[in-house]
Every structure is written in structure tokens, then in C-alpha cells.
Amino acid sequence: MTATIHDIADQRHHLMVVASDGAHVIPHALVQSVITGEKSSSILTEPVVKRIIEEWLQQVTT
């Protein structure tokens, strides 16, 4: 298994998502660009998207 490691020191605002395939640190700006349609949601892996939806659903149903 290989992984790409990115230095996020310049991107202070980020999300940490613990998905079924491991922990991911995602810049807030990247998530925002997916929301606005500037980037395709396919840039996020399926386990990450599932976890984000799961956490959102927990927040709105409690």
C-alpha cells in the first residue's frame, strides 16, 4: 500500500476524518471547493465521504 503525504502547514484550517481506511486530514478550503462545485466530489475517497455524512447525520438527528 502506498500513500501520498502532503505538507499542510500552510493550510491551518482543516478537518480530520477518521474513516474506515484510516485517518485523513483535509484542508477546509478543499471541502469548501467541493461544496461550491469548483472541484468534483470524486476528489474525496468513498470512505471519507461516508464518514462525513455519518457525522453530519449524527449532528442533525440528536
Give the pLDDT score at 44.
95
Rg of the chain on CA atoms, in Å: 12
pLDDT digits (tens, 9 = 90+) for 13-24: 888 999 999 999
Is pLDDT at 39 greater than 90 in this prediction? yes
Rounded to two decimals, the pTM is: 0.72
- Percentage above 90 pLDDT, the chain: 68
Q: Which of 10-14, 27-31, 49-53 has the highest mean pLDDT?
A: 49-53
Is 15 in contact with 32 (CB distance < 8 Å)? Answer: no
Query: Which residues neighbour 20 within 8 Å (Cβ) at sequence distance 6 or greater?
Result: 47, 50, 51
Q: Are 25 and 10 in contact (CB under 8 A)?
A: no
The percentage of the chain sitting over the pLDDT mark of 70, rounded to a whole number, equals: 92
Return the amino acid letter for 61.
T
